[in-house]
Amino acid sequence: MCFDNASRIDAEMSDLLARISTGGELLSRALYTDDQAHITELLRPVWLNGIMSGFSRGDLASRAVVVELLPVEPQDRLSMEDLNSQWAEERPAIFAGLLTLTVDVLRKRDSMRPTGLHRHAEFERNLLVIDEVLGTHGAERLAEQAGALNEAVLDATTLGMAMRRAVEEARGHHQASLFNTTPQIPRLPGSVGRDDHLFQKHTAAGLMAIVASAVDERHQRDLPQTPKAFGEALSRLTPALRSCLDVEITRPRVSGTRYIMVKDLRA
């Protein structure tokens, strides 16, 4: 499945492509008919070609492998006729090399264990074998790329940028914000944390107020405006927050009430 010249992937398309890339089911049924539901199982590699700044959804970003292409210099441009001629000449050697590499990977892959750092465990394992065979560093670059993609996800939304700023302020200044509350500073509404730990337990509304205070009024309008929307958006950012900022988000239930626990893993 290929998308050419893509400039933006919206949230719905991002979720759909994430399901297709690792396998999922699509349920459909024609409206106003007696037709039964149809379940389509999909598992396809997805190619996205275009100029994009990154991904706004972590699910798709965690499945992505980015290949940055260099611009073609004027002196290196070829006509279609020359390109086809060159490809016809080099294709046998390329195909033979791919077959040889495939045999090497299949022979050694069972003895290779993935690190568990990437969403595509099978792909990472194959890449580790390729590195061993060719002496390359693809798996290392893949890990670096995963971190960069998480950074892009975090910075793609106002909530992500607000969380980053709130975390930086909490670590740089001992004030009531995400992690700690001191007796001299009044607790914000919804904050129910303990003073002797560098983490807090919040209601969604209380955490919304803390995060909103980290950005100016203009950007506050771009934040989720209800506790439910805030909680859902924060859930999508949870992997990126852990990877980029060493912040763990959990949702304990206490006496029938759901809270959001923000923990500083560097503390």
The structural domains of the chain, with segments of one domain joined by +, span 2-61, 78-153, 157-264
29-43, 176-190, 212-226, 245-259: lowest mean pLDDT where?
A: 176-190
**Which pLDDT score is estimated for 147?**
84
56-60, 89-93, 157-161: least confidently modelled range: 56-60
* CA distance to 126, 163, 244, per residue, from 167 (Å): 37, 6, 11
Q: How far apart are CA 55 and CA 14, in angstroms?
A: 8
Nearest-Å Rg of the Cα atoms of the chain is 24
Could you tell me which of 186, 222, 193, 221 has the C-alpha nearest to residue 207? 193
> d(Cα 262, Cα 251) in Å, to the nearest integer?
9
Average pLDDT over the chain reads 81
Predicted confidence at residue 82, as pLDDT, reads 95
Whether pTM > 0.75 for this model: the answer is no
Please count the other Cβ atoms lying within 10 Å of the Cβ belonging to residue 215: 19
**Residue 183: its pLDDT value, please?**
30
Strand partners, 263: 199, 248
Q: How far apart are CA 103 and CA 114, in angstroms?
A: 19
Check: CB of residue 199 under 8 Å from CB of residue 263. yes
The answer to whether 170 and 179 are in contact (CB under 8 A) is yes
Residue with tokens 């950012």: 237
CA separation, residue 143 to residues 78, 113, 150 (Å):
35, 15, 11
Average pLDDT over residues 70-76: 91
Give Cα separations from 99 to 19, 103, 159 (angstroms): 29, 6, 47
Highest mean pLDDT among 39-53, 122-136, 173-187, 204-218: 122-136
What type of residue sits at position 262?
V
